[in-house]
Amino acid sequence: MAGLRFQIIMDGFIPEDPTGTLVAGIKIPKAVASKIPAIRAEVQDIKVFIGNMNRTLGGEDLSLKATYHQCFHDEIPSKPCEPEQEI
């Protein structure tokens, strides 16, 4: 069956901003913080769709993994990062 296959890999770091907006326990720049809820909602919707396709097509290798975590490795002294949270 023909279809579109996407592979999206994003590994980014948003630095803490003391004047920013609190998101998942970290204050990040307001310009980015306002977009986070929409991004998470879209990712969750796509995960549901892909999960339904897995059940419908049976045997297809369709998956979406999306996580985030609080990162502290750049702090002095360095601290371990928080566990990944599934979106």
**pLDDT for 67-82, tens place per residue?**
888 888 888 888 898 8
Averaged pLDDT for residues 20-37: 92
Q: How far apart are CA 1 and CA 55, in angstroms?
A: 16
Residue 5 lies in a domain: no
Residue 11 lies in a domain: no
Its domain, for residue 49, covers 21-86
Residue 9 lies in a domain: no
Report the domain count for the chain.
Answer: 1
Residue 42 lies in a domain: yes
Residue 74 lies in a domain: yes
pLDDT reading at 21 higher than 90: yes
Helix-strand-coil percent breakdown of the chain, rounded to 5? Answer: 30, 10, 60
Residue 12 lies in a domain: no
